[in-house]
Structure 1
Amino acid sequence: MSSRVLGIDIRPGGNFSYIVMNSDGAITADGVANPDELIRVIKRYKPSLVAVDNIREILELGGRFLKRMSKLPSVPQVIQVTRLPDGSEVKMEDLVRKYLGINVGLLTPEETAKYTAELALRGIGSTVKLFENETKIIVKALISTRQGGQSRRRFERNIAIRVRQIVKNITESLNKANLDYDVFYHRDSEGVRSALIIVYADKSIVRRFVKPIKSMDVKVTLEQIISSSIKFLSPNSSYVEASPKSKTRLIVGVDPGIVTGLALMSLDGKVLALFSGRNMSRRRVLSLVYEYGTPIVVATDVSKPSDYVKKLSSMIGAVLYHPERDMQIVEKANIALKLSEKDNVKVKTPHERDALAAAYKAFINYVDKFNKIDEILNELPIQVNSDEVKELVVKGLPIRDALSRVLSRSINQECKTEVIVRNQQQECKCADEVKELKDYVKLLEEKISRLEDENIRLKDEVNRLYTLKYSPPDQSLASKVRLLESRIELETKRIKELNDILNNVKSIIAEALFNNNYAFAVRVNNTGELNQVISRGYLPIMRFQDIASLVDLSKGWSGIVITMDEAGSRAIRQLFKMGITAVPLPKVLALDVNDNIKVIDMNKLSEYVNELKSVLSEVDYDTLENLINEYKIGRKRIQ
């Protein structure tokens, strides 16, 4: 940027007289211009300073003029020459006489423009901070996808990819330049169509790494961020960051985005203020917060905090709180309704609602500790700032250590030893306070000692009760327990032996029954049970329809099967040909022991099998049926 100065003064009707002056006092250009033309003058001559006699002349032009200034490639500083560094304001005529040595009367707009430029070159006046040391980079799609028809989705994806790629390129350049920034994407019915990048550096620095772009589909613009309030600085002085205006500790809920929501809550859970605004930088957020106090917790309503929230908490050394899971809309709405009624605040936007819910969630996370601190402090004989103790606890210090640290600091502040020499004797003004505290400490130590003794007694009682509950009261009982355990072990072994004997007896009985023309039949439900029953010499009982699934016909298994239900003679004959004799239970039952065990009369079984063989030897029904079918087919062919 050049060392030129642009001096301006408003004329009747709203136009400006202007003069462009070099650092050596030479005039480069002068004339009269309306606000739009004045912007073109600044753009053409690129002055480093714009000098005015009253900043209201620029402010009265409205936000549009400042907006256009913010988009200039080089944004000049504005100097009000009539405001001195001590804050006092001096008439223009007096400044001209004092610093330029010219006796003047009422100045014309042309003369005022000329003299403001000369005074600014001499370093007279105060810098008016109209713009922050922050730059907005706006990436915006220029093509609409609303009329895309069937290809609309594809157009939206392409635009979103294009916007994200440009943002990626910009952020990579900012990272290489080690510049701090935040990124916000804006989504509408057409998807991601724009993005906002707030860079925490002057536009003149940002332009070294990021250039404006205007292509067929996307536009990239850079703007200096306009200050939310007017600030005056002495020439050549640097801007001092805002600081808290009170020591009241705050929980700050933040919902970041193109529109950022902000909620401020005291440590007793009272809502102090709600804000929401577009394009709010972290510095802007802090300037609002500092009006109410000192933030110690920054809270968000999502489980994965954004970079914006992380950086904000890091800037001020606050604890970052986030819930374990994202808060649901219903939960946030209920919290907002509850607090708006309790503290008489109006929640205007969803962003304020989300920020308020985040702050309240953080408060609930700490409220038990806060209440404990208040209980302890209420018993102390001196006043202690509870917010200081709570801040230390929030930052991870145990309550006891936090109290000790704040108490020590309070004593040092309230009882600074003021030594007064009186007749060679030294008196301490805070002796009474110190004695009172010592007495209180002694009282607390005695109370702690009593509690420790009580704690030991209770532990002994617990141990005694535990021993009484889980240990035998004497050795005789222990001996009885061991004796019973031995007997249980012997009985278990005996039961196993008896089961083995019982199985042997069953086998012997089965053999005896078989020799006496009787046999056991046992119900089976699966192949495993079938194999077990057959291996023990018993006859299997099953439903007729289960034979095919339980007996492996493909392996040529043969034997007798007792069926629980009757079956057709044809099906029985087919199985008989395959070696399986299906015998209905009612025809051979001798004794019904229970549902699963039956005694079979082997004589009846033998008679049934012989009868079945006799019938099959007389007529082969299958062969006969085949002959009949062939005869019918032949008849049809003849006809």
Structure 2
Amino acid sequence: MALQTIFGVDIVKGSSRSREAPHYAVAILNGNVEKYSSVSRFKLLRLIKQYRPGILAVDSITELAENKKDLVSFLRRLPPEVKLVQVTGNEHQEPLTKLGRENGISFNPMVPEEEALAAACLASMGVGYIVSVFEDKTLIKVSRGRSPGRGGWSQNRYRRKVQGRVREKVREIEAKLKDRVYDLHITEGFGGYVNGTFIVNARRSELGIHSSREEDVQVTVTSVEKEAIEFIPLEKKKRDYIIVGVDPGTTTAVAILDLNGKLVEVSSSRVSSVPDIIEHISEMGRPVVIATDVVPPPAAVEKIKRTFNAVLFTPNERIPVEEKVRLARPLGYSNDHERDALAAAVKAFNAYKNKFAQIDKKTPSHLSGDVKALALEGKPVEVALDMLTAPPIAEKPKAPAQAETDVDGRLEELRAQLRRKDEQVEHLRAYVSDLKRELKHLELRLKSQERVIDRLKSKGLDEARKAREVAIRDGEISRLKKEVSGLKRRNAELQSNIDRLKDIRAMEFRGDKAPVKVIESLSRDAILECDRKFGIKAGDVIFIRDAGGGMEAASMLIERGVKALIKGTPMSHLAEEKFFKAGVPVLSREDVPLKFVDGYAVLDPGRLEAAMKRWKEEAADQERRSREERLLGIIDEYKARRAREYRRDGRTLQ
């Protein structure tokens, strides 16, 4: 396993508060020792990015930054895996020389290189506190790489291109975060996104996504800042009391919280057996509660509970998925199994949270964990305190011959026990008095909360009524908008028809071209559509693209008194005969050439009159032939009838 690189830093001249640029002495531990007597802040940052140490150790963070804002700015410039460690303590610091003596490190405090080396050595021994200014959350912002500018002929096309690239980058990052828990806020724009902001429940070093800048889009990756600086012990305490949530199965997940509800670890594995899980939990601490999210608890959870002689926590009923997400989301998880284990642990902590808070009020901080563990076993707080604080009683060895004679010593021992019992009783009475006062306080608080709830209910009903009325009005507004939009479209269509009719009327007045109204087919619907758009009146010339229609459509045109019909395709015999009987000329498109303009056609009036004259002449000839045929038929019928009568008369005479 590779050794962890550690930087020790001490200021040489200047300071974070002065105008003079500070210089630092640097000691690097990475199997060997490297020293730099004086480097600038820029050179220090370059060395850190070159070596990428695990720890940057200082004796005081004020040597790096004057205030929290400057400290955050400095830490944002470091690689995400680097931990800043203040070796002299947290808010309450101890001299570096004292810590050196206690840990067997001797150095000259007047030489900055030796102070830097001492800080690095102390950090390597687990001395100091990690300076934490960032949450375990990361902010990723995707935005345009440059402004669209003041405008021009191609501004819209350019804006669409840039904002389309922003949308592509957002989707690319979404694909990389598909197994992470995150929130996404998007500002949409023309052709894509103006920007997109991710808040991911993970450290920046875990994501593998870095700040970048391209031609049209830029990505900024930063950690989310905490409200206050937090100091975390560099070396974790061993065997702390913990609450463990377990989700057994093909994939087993374990979530561990400390007794303050803070997340220690959440993990999952497909290859861990129950003994492996027990060993892992044992390494993490002393479990006092083993929790599960189902009822009844699985056999594996029961076995883990018996191994540690811990309290088993099960909910009254199976925890719904929505509640699991609500409980686990603030702490972060990678899959559903980790979510279930984490929800069980948080549910257990919430069940004991009030009791833990009471214990924190009544006990010293160094005894808090032990008292909580005893309280979970069922012991009253005062009894647990007495067990932890009472001095041990050394039993005096008794010789067998003196057992009956040492009555006074035994009596004194019993009296001491009685005094301790009396003290315990007094402690318990005081505890009962505290509980009664707290009960009264809670009753008053409950009444106050009930009044607040009543007010909120009343306010909520008013807001619900307003929201319902607003929704009704919004629906009506939406309906009216649709109606207005439809009327506008209809108005535009009618205006277009008016313009066409004006053109037709102008042609009629000029007489150079005759307008022809176009019907798509010889059908009732097509005739009505043309009538709606242009109006069909007596004396109109009609062109029918598809003339294969029936008698009903022919009757509709005859009733409207059209002057002539021009057929685009052959017409049925029945329809053409009906037009013939009504005296409406049916002309072929070859006889009358047409020119189409904006939904209607025009023709030469002279050609139309000539074609109609020919049709009328042909119709007159056909009518004459028809009359002759009818007359010849009458004559033939008369001759046949006379022949029949002659034959009948001849038979009668014989």
Q: Normalising by structure 1, report the TM-score.
A: 0.36
